[in-house]
Amino acid sequence: MKPKLSPTVLALAAITLSFAANALGQQARQDQQARHGFWFSAGLGYGTLGCQNCTGRAGGFSGNISLGGSLSQKVLLGVSSNGWVKSENGSTLTVTALTAAMRFYPSVTNGFFLLGGLGLGTVSADLSGFGSQSETGFGALIGLGYDIPLSHSVRLTPYWNGFAMNSSNADANVGQIGLGITVQ
């Protein structure tokens, strides 16, 4: 005679398996987003430059490099260098910011992060035949991004950053969108 399983036993077994599968899936997501130790990130993209007295925005090549250490699963501290450049008719305009930065991940199982930093900013102009001039002042950085796991330690990171510089003689602000690689 074959033993019969009651519907209650089958339901309890299904619920137990469901909870176990969910727990394993959540652990796998946490492992993919594990943030610990040294980290490095670099990205390239497009940015637009503006200023207080500008009549429009100029587009150009943009990028960033960041590195640092993990304070916790949610907080990464480091240094970030962001830049924007445009060359036209023998002239080159460059805006950079070098900041002490923090990445904040609201969730340990999700790749979304917010970024902020303070430091130095520079705007430089190189005019062919006339030389170059630069101005350095206060720099600031804000941004957001999302880490998409490619492996346990490598993530594809689309991002948007805004960085700015301000001195007594000049100001500039850049909005940049790009795609980076984060290694941790």
Quote the distance between the C-alpha of residue 2 and its chain's center: 60
pLDDT in tens, 83-135: 999 999 889 999 999 999 999 999 998 999 999 999 999 999 998 778 889 99
Residue 29 has pLDDT above 80, yes or no: no
- Domain-embedded: residue 7: no
**Which comes out higher in pLDDT, residue 6 or 107?**
107
Residue 38 has pLDDT above 70, yes or no: yes
pLDDT band of 32, cuts 50, 70, 90: low
pLDDT for residue 130 = 84
CA distance 35 to 29: 12
**Which comes out higher in pLDDT, residue 47 or 36?**
47
- Domain-embedded: residue 165: yes
What is the mean pLDDT of the segment spanning 162-179?
Answer: 95
pLDDT for residue 100 = 98
Quote the distance between the C-alpha of residue 84 and its chain's center: 16
pLDDT for residue 18 = 52
- Domain-embedded: residue 26: no
pLDDT for residue 127 = 87
Other Cβ atoms closer than 10 A to 101: 26
- Domain-embedded: residue 18: no
pLDDT in tens, 141-155: 999 999 999 998 999
- Residue 65 three-state SS: strand
Q: Count of domains in the chain?
A: 1
**Domain containing residue 136: CATH number:** 2.40.160.20
CA distance 171 to 118: 15
Residue 137 has pLDDT above 70, yes or no: yes
- Domain-embedded: residue 16: no
Longest dimension (CA), the chain: 99
C-alpha closest to that of 135 among 101, 175, 96, 77: 96
Domain range enclosing 52:
33-183
- Domain-embedded: residue 84: yes
Q: Which residues of 46-59 are buried (b: 16+ CB within 10 A; e: fewer)?
A: ebbbbbeeeeeeee
